[in-house]
Chain A
Amino acid sequence: KAGVTQTPRYLIKTRGQQVTLSCSPISGHRSVSWYQQTPGQGLQFLFEYFSETQRNKGNFPGRFSGRQFSNSRSEMNVSTLELGDSALYLCASSLNPARGVNEQYFGPGTRLTVT
């Protein structure tokens, strides 16, 4: 079974631009979560989508948004990029977080550098 895939793997943008990152979950997984990882703050939860609906949201500004498609693929968008948005953005998928223990499977991440 193929794992979680994320595209692109690396991205360089300038301040003020916007960016869209893509995530394809494991086949059959309906939940997709996004995280931002930085050396200073560690892994922080951005949002979770389940069946095309945003179910949970972390404490990030409205510049960060996402969506999920009917095939469970997800995208996240960051508008008006700031230098502090430079980070590894990780996507994780899970089967059905409402049932029992939620075990997440992560993709390799997208390394975003804002200059």
Chain B
Amino acid sequence: TQLLEQSPQFLSIQEGENLTVYCNSSSVFSSLQWYRQEPGEGPVLLVTVVTGGEVKKLKRLTFQFGDARKDSSLHITAAQPGDTGLYLCAGIPGNQFYFGTGTSLTVIP
């Protein structure tokens, strides 16, 4: 059983469409982070959410932290081919980082 479950696992959409990726857990996190990883590279930090209910925007990406700090979502508006990659959520419930199961996004031109 994974501590952080992401859904969907795979997503293939057309350019211009909107999408939402979910990151869920039964544990409470002091903060959650979202990363994007492209093939052959390491994950790159996109955002950190700290406060329950917090919403952060990064251009076309909107991140939300659940009120109970157990879940988070990533919404992409008008997806572009450059958004293609593996999206990972991550958090520290104790002393070490746990990463989510990942969502592989493909945006078709």
Q: Are A105 and B45 in contact (CB under 8 A)?
A: yes
Interface stretch among B18-26, B76-84, B88-96?
Answer: B88-96
- A98-115 Cβ-contact flags toward B at 8 Å (1 or 0): 000111111111000000
CA distance A55 to B92 in the complex (A): 14
Show 25 residue pairs from A and B whose CB-CB distance is below 8 angstroms, ordered by the A residue.
A4-B42, A33-B97, A42-B99, A42-B100, A42-B101, A42-B102, A43-B88, A43-B90, A55-B95, A56-B95, A56-B96, A58-B96, A90-B42, A90-B43, A101-B50, A102-B92, A102-B97, A103-B33, A104-B45, A104-B97, A105-B45, A106-B43, A107-B42, A108-B40, A109-B41
Q: Does B73 contact A (CB under 8 A)?
A: no
Q: Does A92 contact B (CB under 8 A)?
A: yes
Q: Does A75 contact B (CB under 8 A)?
A: no
Binding site for B on A (CB under 8 A): 4, 33, 35, 42-45, 48, 55-56, 58, 90, 92, 101-109
Smallest beta-carbon distance B3→chain A, Å: 11
Q: Are B96 and A101 in contact (CB under 8 A)?
A: no
CA distance A3 to B42 in the complex (A): 11
Q: Does B48 contact A (CB under 8 A)?
A: yes
Given A43-B99, A101-B31, are A92 and B50 also a contact pair (CB < 8 Å)?
no
Inter-chain pairs besides A43-B43, A109-B41, 10 sampled, C-beta below 8 Å: A43-B88, A43-B102, A45-B97, A92-B42, A101-B48, A102-B97, A104-B97, A106-B43, A108-B40, A108-B42
- B1-44 Cβ-contact flags toward A at 8 Å (1 or 0): 01000000000000000000000000000010101000011111
